[in-house]
Structure 1
Amino acid sequence: MTPITRVEGRRLALSNLEKVLYPESGYTKGEVLHYYATVASSMLPHLHDRPVSFLRYPDGPSGQTFFTKSPPPGAPSWVTTVRVPRSADQWAEQVTIADTASLMWAANLVVEFHTPQWRSQRPGLADRLILDLDPGPPATVVECCRVAGWLRDRLRADGLAVYAKTSGSKGLHLAAPIEPTPSDRATAYAKALARELEAEHPDLALHRMAKALRPGKVFVDFSQNAAAKTTAAPYTLRARSRPAVSAPVSWGEVASCQSPDDLLFLAADVTARLGRDGDLWADLIDRDRGVALPKPPRP
């Protein structure tokens, strides 16, 4: 029998609670749901007023995975959606996560949560700049931290406040709140920064995705600023071998990172961190009006 529970007055059917989703650690679907219930108050502000895309992995990371922007079939009527552009002349509905009940409904589908850099009512106007630091083996998150330090200082020189989180995989994400700016301009600015970094540190970083160029270097992915792109949301679990989380981190942790394990945070680690430190990205929410994005630096 499928257990029925109520969340904020909403009736939810939660299925397969004993199913092991992360075989390496034995982490079950019931534990996944408990994790999201625990972090909801910190996670929801980062999802607020942004259309959500889902990477679904219902049978665990080793099973079938698929990415969807459309509302899943059978979504309850109380799950809110918003109309967003898909192309120059096409619009479509997309889910927004407005409350804990919606978060738990989505979590029961076993998903990663991804959001764009713009809000639902301002499609294509980015209010956050994102830089995704992706290491090419044998480089690791340790090298990403070196790149992050350079980018933090460079962005601060342009007047931007910068926040860091783990990707929940191998790298880091950097975010800076900005005044609403056309996504193509934000992308151009981020690309110019990546090229500037590569020119200054060609042995460490690159702005091109070509696999042949990436071994031992950190790819600075600027493309997630494009209007159609999304980034893993803070506190989402990732479809990896263990229940790793895309977790906000302090700049002190970035500076002191000596090993990939230093910045690997599993679900239990994150709930403990929230209890001890609170949401390290809370100030980003408070600063969401941001500052004006400077003109792109010279490449």
Structure 2
Amino acid sequence: MTQPVPMTEIWRGPFLESVHSGHAVICDDTGQIVRSWGDPHATVLPRSSSKMVQALPLITSGAAAKYGLTSEHLALACASHNGAAIHTDRVKAWLDHLGLSDDDFRCGPQMPNDPPARDALIIGDDSPCQMHNNCSGKHSGFLTLNQHMGGNAEYIEVDHPVQQACLAAFEETTGETSPGYGIDGCSAPNYASSLLGMARSMAWFASAADRSDRQSAAAEQLTTAMIKHPELVAGEGRACTELMRAMNGRVAIKTGAEAFFIAIIPEKRMGVALKVADGTTRASECAIAAILVELGVLEADHPATRKFMNAPILNRRGIDTGMIKPAAGFI
């Protein structure tokens, strides 16, 4: 089947009100499909779900070691964070360590999603800076790599050595030649692949401990960092953070804009890539949770799971009006 399949349903009382359809692939460490829904060969832009791939050159180049980056730095390099103090304080310290400032970023300012950080800006009649951008950790990694390489200031240009290193890592881990790129919300190129290619890349990350090459060692470091610091990868209340905590270090997951999601499952040597066709995040959060429950790495009744899958929909008076749940026949 090449058409997207129903993945997530929204119920209001006894009525099915909305259905979100999409594509998903589970891949093993040999690059083979374990299970798929919809079209595994659909061309996709993985958006922020590819950040750990973009972070590989940061380590393999020697830049991470040269600048003494810790697992916290690596988790932030993979993050789409809330702009909370735990994120921006660390980003500022990272920039200070490099001898750089907010002006060296090319990601653009963004109002933080973290309520205390957002409220502080409003109360202080202040504007957000680029450190508040949810991708500032990734861009700190780009700046570190760029400083190591001696590149020019425009590190986000597609022909810049930093982005060419990211492309090389992307094509190597997906096993595909990328058909092109789009410009992401943070202004960096985001390379396209098939959905299978992204699942293959995540399975390659999941099986990294089985290999001894430099690239695989870097992949293992990044996966470990994400699992160790789920609060840095996203933030409080976010699916990435809460579901990784619920899985107690067994799985790394990462969302991307327009309802993309990946999972790296080391104990099963499997990778998952998922795309909801209409770009609705609530649907991708429910669908990835359902797949993780099906694979036996996430408890269906864990409180964190119940926030995103089989979750009640409450109205403004706190009345239970319906439910968001996996579509009938999806899992």
Tell me which of the two structures has the higher relative contact order, counting C-alpha pairs closer than 8 angstroms and 6 or more residues apart: 2
- TM-score range with shorter-chain normalisation? under 0.3
Query: Higher strand share goes to which structure?
Result: 1
TM-score under structure 2 length normalisation = 0.24
Query: Higher helix share goes to which structure?
Result: 2
TM-score under structure 1 length normalisation = 0.25
